[in-house]
Amino acid sequence: MAVGAASNPEGGRVDFYTGNVLRIDMTAQSVAVEPLNMDWAALYVGGKGLLFRYMWEYVPVGVDPWSPENPLFLMTGPFAGTNLSTTSRLVVGAKSPVTGILNDSYVGGSFAPEMKFAGYDAIIIVGKAAKPTVVTIRNEVVEFVPAESTYWGMKTSEIEQAMRDDFDPEAKTLSIGPAGETLNPWACLSTDQYHKAGRGGHGALMGSKNIKAIAVRGTGSVTVGDPRAFLADMERVHREFVLTDDNLWAHEEGTPILVDLVNGAGAMPTRNWSEGYFEGAKNLNSESFQKIRVKKRACYQCAIGCRNVHAATWHGVKVMGEGPEYETIALGGPNCGIDDIDALMKFNEECDQWGLDTISSGTVIGLAMDMTEKGLHDFGVRFGEGETYVQLPGLIARREGVGAELALGVRKLCEKYGAPELSMEVKNLEMPGYDPRGAFGMSISYATSDRGGCHMRTYSVADEILSGAVPAATMEGKVEGAISNRPPDFISQNFSSIKFCGIWCDFWAVNPTQVSQMLTHLYHRALSDDEIMLIGERVWNLGRLFNLREGVEADTLPTKLYSEESAHTSGPSAGQAIGEATWTESLRRYYELRGWDADGVPTEAKLHELGVDVRL
């Protein structure tokens, strides 16, 4: 057992930051601590922005994502470990082994604050252990614990309990399930059991480094300047901004509230994205979940507490856990033709325990059902068949039986069986639960997202469906809204980029003015809304440079989501299509408004204006 005592001789802490970056080399089983680069922190704040800057520096140019030299990054935000609600999130970053471009995946729970209390703003892991290993971190002491005959093979709840039993009762654990061990392309990272850094295959990357889990215990502190003044301001911030009716829907109902709204707009991915309306959605809506709701849970340092604990029964056995959240419901429910809430609960538990992302799982299983129904290949499962469906996550994670093939992922399966038109992904990342045919703005959202098919960079659904303030079946104003905030509350790429530096969760509908008030605690001056948005745009352009450097596919969308011929023929969005000409023009306009050239490369003038400190 190798033991490393981590210390940072030059370190000096700054309020909100610990000032330390922990670097772990799994090959050499060695650790080192270096000071956090405060120049970068000043430019990029923390979270997403600081992650991108560290990735730019530490990802070897053109590295094979599967090679030991490809680092895995764990980055916190400046407010993790304080009592500012929703900002306890951790961002896990890497050059994704699935997409080959950047992937920043966010997860709540309590891991990021514990990292800060242990003394680290960031952890950067390179190399590959000779054998399966668990890394434990207790303040400055880092240990490499052999895991081959003990922890390897454990499901996610088991490894977390093992860390509490064997390492520290207060251990916070970031782990892979068996899916990460078999290098499944959509293996996720788990913490606090139900919290997942889901998208982009970070679980597979961690598995490729032979790391089963990283367990951390910290007994140190996070300082914030004047403690009494900070407390007084936080009391006000929660009363005025956080615990408002606008945010407390997340506590009272949670994301299942989206089911009826999205379905009603004809934007529900149904039966492998062949329809936009699912007749059985009422069995999976907010009302249905409230009937089986047993408890509320919160992430660390969050007063909203959006986590719903549900209990169901599958074959006489209790299925209990947090979630599913909307995306899981959409892709694991309607997209697989499943309207049985018990089956969906079981599917969610299986994905959680084996360590699989539910969006990608629901997409690949929906595809397998579609291919079976179409006679392209018999995967032994058809739409709506709950009994087989709940067994698939385990088979996929173990690469057993039909699971061995499904573990190829959506794109490769479609290539193999000659049906590329069924491949519902962007840049090889499967899309979440909003069909752009029912919410046109999501087209540009998916196509231009910095990590592939993702709804979290810009979320036109908020205006197109939730508030209904903007018509859904038009591209007018959608490109502008995707890039930068405009009324009423379009969540844009530039704003989400500064928000994820924070790292504020989407369940606090924070605005630039509120972000500025929070950042005043860091910068000791008031930032204007324009400055806030400029930081976001800086981060977004840095991400674009990274993707261009590493080689990114064209910004595009599965054809059927925009072409006139493939408009839905029934349901609330019947007949709606963006159309090829409008789609091409929208992309062109996106580049133009971004200040990028026709190939999507940021111009020197734009990078200079934004203060981006690197160049291709």
Partner 1 sequence: MPHVMISRKKCTACHMCELACSLYHEGAFRPSVARLRSECNPTTTDIKGFTCLQTACAKCQEACPNGAITTRAVPLKLDGAFDSAARFEGLAEGQALIVDEEKCTNCGDCYDACPYGVIHEHPERKVAFKCDLCDGTPQCIVFCQNPHVLAVDLKIDKADVRPVPAE
β-strands 189-191, 102-107 pairing: unpaired
Q: Closest approach of Cβ 295 to partner 1, in Å?
A: 6
CB atoms near residue 191 (< 10 Å): 26
Beta-bridge mates of residue 423: none
Q: Closest approach of Cβ 602 to partner 1, in Å?
A: 38
Q: Closest approach of Cβ 401 to partner 1, in Å?
A: 28
Cβ proximity to partner 1: between 193 and 449 the closer is 193
Cβ proximity to partner 1: between 350 and 435 the closer is 350
Cβ proximity to partner 1: between 263 and 301 the closer is 301
Q: Closest approach of Cβ 91 to partner 1, in Å?
A: 20
Locate 191 and state its tokens: 């913490």
Q: What are phi and psi of 580, to 5 degrees?
A: -60, -45
Cβ proximity to partner 1: between 244 and 528 the closer is 244
Cβ proximity to partner 1: between 238 and 399 the closer is 238
Contacts with 87 (C-beta within 8 Å, 6 or more apart), sequence order: 77, 79, 80, 301, 502, 503, 504, 505
Cβ proximity to partner 1: between 315 and 318 the closer is 318
Contacts with 540 (C-beta within 8 Å, 6 or more apart), sequence order: 450, 493, 494, 497
How many C-alpha atoms does 175 have within 13 Å on its Cβ side? 36
Cβ proximity to partner 1: between 110 and 263 the closer is 110
Question: Where do we find the tokens 């490393």?
Answer: 4
187 and 180 in contact (C-beta within 8 Å)? yes
In whole angstroms, what is the distance from residue 108 CA to residue 116 CA? 14
The b/e string for 464-485 (b: 16+ C-beta within 10 A; e otherwise) is bbbeeebebbebeebbbbbbbb
Q: Closest approach of Cβ 177 to partner 1, in Å?
A: 13
**Amino acid occupying residue 151:** Y
Q: Is 128 exposed, middle or buried, given 0-12, 13-18 or 19+ CB atoms closer than 10 A?
A: middle
Q: Closest approach of Cβ 82 to partner 1, in Å?
A: 5
**Virtual CA dihedral for 440, 445, 446, 448, nearest 10 degrees?**
130
Cβ proximity to partner 1: between 430 and 506 the closer is 506
Assign 223 to helix, strand or coil: coil
Contact residues toward partner 1 (CB under 8 A) are: 81-83, 85, 109-110, 117, 157, 160-161, 192-194, 218-224, 227-228, 230-231, 234-236, 238-239, 243, 248, 251-252, 295-305, 307, 309, 322
| CA 366 distance to own-chain centroid | 21
Q: Closest approach of Cβ 534 to partner 1, in Å?
A: 29
Cβ proximity to partner 1: between 227 and 316 the closer is 227
DSSP annotation of 403 reads: H
CB atoms near residue 615 (< 10 Å): 10
67 Ramachandran zone, left/alpha/beta (phi>0; psi -120 to 50): beta
Q: Closest approach of Cβ 194 to partner 1, in Å?
A: 7
469 and 122 in contact (C-beta within 8 Å)? no
Beta-bridge mates of residue 30: 25
Structural element, H or E, at residue 219: none
Assign 146 to helix, strand or coil: strand
Q: Closest approach of Cβ 219 to partner 1, in Å?
A: 4
Cβ proximity to partner 1: between 220 and 572 the closer is 220
Cβ proximity to partner 1: between 297 and 382 the closer is 297
Assign 141 to helix, strand or coil: strand
Instruction: Output the CA–CA distances (angstroms, integers) from residue 394 to 19, 205, 258, 398, 403, in the order listed.
Output: 41, 19, 28, 6, 8
Q: Closest approach of Cβ 345 to partner 1, in Å?
A: 15
Cβ proximity to partner 1: between 248 and 408 the closer is 248
